[in-house]
């Protein structure tokens, strides 16, 4: 996923993020969405 797409999703409220500072480093801590359980499960 492109950086701009992630920033757009944060702006729309689809992803949660907070600003973080660690010394001289600045950035965003982004909470990833939970993985979908149906991705690798097989139907009986």
Expressed as residue numbers, the domain containing 14 is 1-30
Q: Quick one: pLDDT at residue 16?
A: 94
Q: Identify whether 35 is part of a domain.
A: no
Q: Identify whether 37 is part of a domain.
A: no
Q: Identify whether 13 is part of a domain.
A: yes
Q: Identify whether 7 is part of a domain.
A: yes
pLDDT in tens, 1-44: 899 999 999 999 999 999 999 899 999 999 887 776 666 666 66
User: Is-contact 13 31, C-beta < 8 A?
Assistant: no
Q: Identify whether 40 is part of a domain.
A: no
Q: How many domains does the chain have?
A: 1
Q: Identify whether 43 is part of a domain.
A: no
User: pTM above the 0.85 mark?
Assistant: no
Closest CA to 6 of 44, 41, 33, 35: 33
């Amino acid at each position: 996923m492109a950086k701009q797409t992630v920033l757009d999703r944060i702006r729309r409220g689809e992803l949660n993020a907070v600003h973080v500072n660690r010394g001289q480093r600045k950035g965003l801590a982004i909470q990833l969405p939970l993985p979908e359980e149906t991705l690798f499960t097989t139907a009986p």
